[in-house]
Structure formats: C-alpha cells, structure tokens
Amino acid sequence: MKTGTSRRLTTAQLQTAAHEFERPDYRPRFGKAPVVEQRRHDCAIRQAKRGRRRLRVGSGTERIQITVERSLLAEADDLAERKHISRSELIAQGLRLALVS
C-alpha cells in the first residue's frame, strides 16, 4: 500500500489545466527579470560582442569589393567551409601565396 497522495491527474483535470494553453491567443506570462540578473545579462552580451572583433594584423584591415566568377566563388566557399575558416581568410591566404611566388 502506498502512502501519500498521487500526483497523476484525471483526464478531466488534465483537460481543465490544459485549456488555457490551447487558446490560439495564448501568450506565456513571464515575470520581469530582477535588476541584478538583467545587468548580468547585459554585461555578458557586451563581453560577447567585444570578443567578435577582428584582431589587428599588420597595419589593420581594409574592406574591398571584387568580382569573382560564381563557380569559382562556390568552390572557394566549399574549401573555406572544409578548412573551417571564413571566405575572407581564404582569400587572404591565396593573396599571401601569390605574393610569395
């Protein structure tokens, strides 16, 4: 014999409890985060954004616009993905190779 109360709902109780969530206009009610938690969140977001800056290499970077054949660009994108580098880094590596030879 079990002691204590059962935590299972009857079908009728479950339908009553779920009724609110089945409405098409249902929106969950979330309480506002405490000020301390909101500040911690904002600080974490700022730190994450700071970490995404590019490292300065040499005399910095310059944004350029070039025209490349579509099939060549597709091959370059595939290679960059396989090497886990950006398209810009792949092009920079290619330029370095061309300048050395």
**Alpha helices per DSSP H over the chain:** 11-19, 35-50, 70-83, 87-100
Question: What tokens does 69 get?
Answer: 């054949």
The pLDDT, as a whole number, for residue 32 is: 84
| Domain boundaries, given as residue ranges, for the chain | 69-101
The pLDDT, as a whole number, for residue 1 is: 45
Each residue's pLDDT tens digit in the chain (101 positions)? 455 566 788 888 888 888 878 888 888 777 888 899 999 999 888 888 776 666 666 777 888 999 999 999 999 999 999 999 999 999 999 999 999 97
Q: Which 3 state secondary structure label does DSSP give 2?
A: coil
Q: The whole model's pTM is what?
A: 0.45
The pLDDT, as a whole number, for residue 61 is: 80
